[in-house]
Amino acid sequence: MMDQTKFKAGYLALIGRPNVGKSTLLNKLLDYKLSITSPRPQTTRRRLLGIMNGNSYQIMFLDTPGILEQSKYELQQVMLHQIQLAIADADALVYMVEALAAGSTAAEQLVAAEVDLIKKMNPAKKPVLLIINKIDLGKKSDLLPLLDFYNRLYTFQALIPVSALKGDGLTRLLTEFLAVLPWHPPYYDADTLTDQPEKFFVAELIREQVFLHFGAEIPYCTEVVIEEFKEREGRKDYIRAIIFTERDSQKAILIGKKGSALGKIGLQARVEIEKFLQREVYLELRVKVRKNWRRDKVQLRQFGYGE
């Protein structure tokens, strides 16, 4: 029987503005690409559980969508709810910012407003760790004033400068994570990485390619649904996926001339899916229109939001 006084296990919610590097950090900590990433903000739409296992600990990370100042669509309201659920489930919060976020009056006002929001979203006053990411992009001389700025805003459990992309500062990060977690036996088997099925990640990898291949509004009005996923012994797995968008004009752009754009998405998505599944697949993609799905609660539920 496991000695609960010698094992730590708990949940940490990764929160912060869009594109500060939460998903990149999660992938680096797990040493596995679990969460999709892109240079575009709001790539993450759902909270995602990633499990980090050690000899004496199990950390459940809840990757969340970026915090927005205003919600334009029902989808963004759902994303905010995902953040609130993660905070409610967590033993502690990991608030992530960019090293370049402070330094100007406008940037500091934005960060101060965000900290106020976190105070409101954390009525239980759970411990909050501050991660200052992308320190490799700034000057070392700017770091101390930045730490002082955040110290004046809130009583953080710890302030940790890191570079999620380069892996700098992660050793100290793990120490600080363990300091706020309870003594508890593991929640999951030691070989478990997440609670989501393969089909979820296949859809996310296709959606990632839409973010990487298209600009403007296209990535934000698309959603991917896996209609069929068959494992076939001795043959490639068969996957049929639908990319939904809101207007016929967007559908035409996604398909491209003679299917060229959709072909590029499918080709690169297949490569990433095969890396993830560690087996060959045959991927069939189609594009369909669901008008105003981001504003429609019924369609959002059909797409699995709000579950």
Q: Which domain holds residue 31?
A: 4-180
DSSP secondary-structure letter at 169? T
Q: Are residues 202 and 167 in the same domain?
A: no
Q: Are residues 205 and 142 in the same domain?
A: no
Q: Are residues 22 and 121 in the same domain?
A: yes
Q: Are residues 66 and 202 in the same domain?
A: no
Evaluate whether 47 touches 86 at the Cβ level (below 8 Å).
yes
Q: Are residues 227 and 134 in the same domain?
A: no
In this predicted structure, what is the pLDDT of residue 159? 94
In this predicted structure, what is the pLDDT of residue 67? 86
In this predicted structure, what is the pLDDT of residue 97? 87
Q: Is the pLDDT of residue 2 over 60?
A: no
Q: Taking all residues of the chain, what is their mean pLDDT, rounded to a whole number?
A: 91
Structural domains of the chain, count: 2
| pTM score, whole prediction | 0.91
User: Is 185 part of any domain?
Assistant: no
Q: Are residues 173 and 98 in the same domain?
A: yes
Q: Is the pLDDT of residue 101 over 60?
A: no
- Residue 21, both tokens: 């590097």
> Strands 8-16 and 57-63, how do they pair?
parallel
Which range, of 15-24, 99-108, 114-123, averages the lowest pLDDT?
A: 99-108
What is the spatial distance between Cα 28 and Cα 31, in angstroms, rounded to a whole number?
5
Which range, of 16-20, 89-93, 119-123, 176-180, averages the lowest pLDDT?
A: 119-123
CATH of the domain at 208: 3.30.300.20
What is the spatial distance between Cα 155 and Cα 249, in angstroms, rounded to a whole number?
49
Which range, of 133-147, 180-194, 266-280, averages the lowest pLDDT?
A: 133-147
CA nearest 242: which of 258, 266, 218, 271?
Answer: 266
Which range, of 105-114, 133-142, 219-228, averages the lowest pLDDT?
A: 105-114
If you search the block for the tokens 């993830």, which residue do you land on?
276
What is the spatial distance between Cα 90 and Cα 14, in angstroms, rounded to a whole number?
9
In this predicted structure, what is the pLDDT of residue 117? 78
Q: Are residues 100 and 235 in the same domain?
A: no
In this predicted structure, what is the pLDDT of residue 99? 77
Q: What mean pLDDT is predicted for residues 34-51?
A: 92
User: Is 26 part of any domain?
Assistant: yes
Rg (CA), the chain: 20
CA nearest 25: which of 178, 118, 128, 135?
Answer: 135
Q: Are residues 234 and 171 in the same domain?
A: no
Q: Are residues 155 and 73 in the same domain?
A: yes
Q: Are residues 53 and 25 in the same domain?
A: yes
With a pLDDT cut of 90, the percent of the chain lying above it is 71
User: Is 186 part of any domain?
Assistant: no
In this predicted structure, what is the pLDDT of residue 177? 97
User: Is 193 part of any domain?
Assistant: no
Of 146, 180, 214, the position where a domain reaches its end is 180
Q: Is the pLDDT of residue 4 over 90?
A: no
User: Is 89 part of any domain?
Assistant: yes
CA nearest 188: which of 94, 58, 67, 83?
Answer: 58
Sign of CA dihedral 241, 246, 248, 251: negative
Greater confidence, 260 or 139? 260
Q: Are residues 176 and 204 in the same domain?
A: no
In this predicted structure, what is the pLDDT of residue 42? 87
User: Is 71 part of any domain?
Assistant: yes
pLDDT in tens, 186-238: 999 999 999 999 999 999 999 999 999 998 899 999 999 999 999 998 899 99
Q: Is the pLDDT of residue 114 over 80?
A: no
In this predicted structure, what is the pLDDT of residue 188? 97
Spell 107-143 as b/e; 16+ CB within 10 A means b. eeeebbebbebbeebbeeebbbbbbbbbbeebeeeee
CATH of the domain at 128: 3.40.50.300
